[in-house]
A = this chain, B = another copy of it.
Amino acid sequence: METRELAYFAAVAEELHIGRAAARLGMAQPPLSRAIQKLERRLGVRLLERSSRGVTLTPAGEVLAREAAKVLDAVAAATARTRRAGRADPRLVVALKPGGDGGLLPDILAAYPAHPDAVEVELVLCGVAERARLVRAGTADVAFLHSPYEDLTGFGSEPLVSEGSVAVVPAGHPLAGRERVRLADLDAGPVPRWPRDHSEITDPAALLQLVALGRLVVVAPESAGELVRRDLVCVPVADGPPTTVVLAWPEEARSRALAAFVRTAAAVAKGHGDADR
């Protein structure tokens, strides 16, 4: 099975329409039809149920769609990792979202170069959903993720720091002066609470704008509270979900530079934890 065929099938499985899939692949419809038929013949399995309204996946087709996605991911990762390994200067690419490092990154970056296996560190700031994807795709070596909000399957990981939650409210909000609040206090008001409600919004600026307008209350990890606008106030949430900042890398990674980074980060986190006590 060639990757080209798998990419074809993946497109068809997404579009459920051979013509549209062909257009997306930049090719004509007949060769795509034939390519899928050929796949079916070679596998000895029907993958598509054809009708005059489009196509649907058979159970085997569903399986192949999932497997094909994995293969294509692996191929993309192979390309990216090989390219990066071929660059003259070895680098460690670290993906994080702004404020997503639990405040540890400055100390980590300061301590890391002292390690004998250390290499240049490149930081990639990206959105929430991007980070895990970059690591899976081989574009980044390691990412700061938030457990349990993000899926760690397929990653090796090292928990760094745990922290509580704060509620972000406008400065004039009735709860703004409180020492701490409970989730029930937030829900007593008329305003929806993110991420329970409207979790489809992921842009921080947009979220905070809604908070400033009094249309939303946001519950977020403490460290994210450092980044909010001056017209907003953070109040600790007593029963808020605890969040752990974890370092995550591809499970099979064997790079010494990466291992050194993880160990440095763990040591720095331990130091911070001790200092907090």
Q: Can you list 14 A-B pairs with a CB-CB distance of less than 8 A?
A: A1-B75, A3-B71, A43-B82, A43-B86, A45-B85, A59-B85, A60-B86, A62-B85, A64-B78, A66-B252, A67-B138, A68-B78, A153-B252, A154-B251
In the assembled complex, A44 has its CB within 8 A of some CB on chain B:
yes
Chain B: minimal CB distance from A33 (Å): 19
How many protomers of this protein does the assembly include? Answer: 2
Interface residues of A in 31-83 (CB under 8 A from B): 43-47, 58-60, 62-64, 66-68, 70-71, 74-75, 77-79, 81-83
In residues 150-184 of chain A, which contact B (Cβ within 8 Å)? 153-154, 156
The answer to whether residues A75 and B64 also contact, given A43-B82, A43-B86, A86-B58 and a CB cut-off of 8 A, is no
Task: From B1, B2, B70, B71, give the contact of A252 (CB < 8 A).
Answer: B70
A70 near B78: Cβ-Cβ < 8 Å: yes
A6 interfacial by beta-carbon distance below 8 Å:
yes
**Complex alpha-carbon distance, A64 and B156, angstroms:** 20
Is A277 on the interface with B (CB-CB < 8 A)?
A: no
Bound form: Cα–Cα A155–B31 in Å: 38
Let me know if A230 is at the binding interface, CB within 8 A.
no
- A81, B60: Cα distance in complex, Å: 8
Task: Give which listed residue, B3, B74, B85, contacts A70 with CB less than 8 A.
Answer: B74
Q: Which residues of A contact B (CB under 8 A)?
A: 1-4, 6, 43-47, 58-60, 62-64, 66-68, 70-71, 74-75, 77-79, 81-83, 85-86, 138, 153-154, 156, 251-252, 254
Contacting pair B1 A86 (CB below 8 A)? no
For A6, A64, A77, A78, which residue has the most chain B Cβ atoms within 10 angstroms? Answer: A78
Task: Give chain B nearest CB distance to A186 CB in angstroms.
Answer: 35
A86 to B45, CA, bound (A): 5
Bound: A85/B78 CA distance, A = 28
Contact residues in B for A82 (Cβ distance below 8 Å): 43, 45, 47, 60, 63-64, 67
Residues of B within 8 A of A156 (CB): 153
A45 to B87, CA, bound (A): 8
Q: How far is the CA of A78 from the CA of B43 in the complex (A)?
A: 10
- Given contacts A58-B86, A67-B82, A153-B156, list 14 more A-B pairs with CB under 8 A: A1-B3, A1-B79, A43-B82, A45-B82, A45-B83, A59-B85, A59-B86, A60-B83, A60-B85, A64-B82, A64-B85, A67-B74, A67-B77, A153-B252
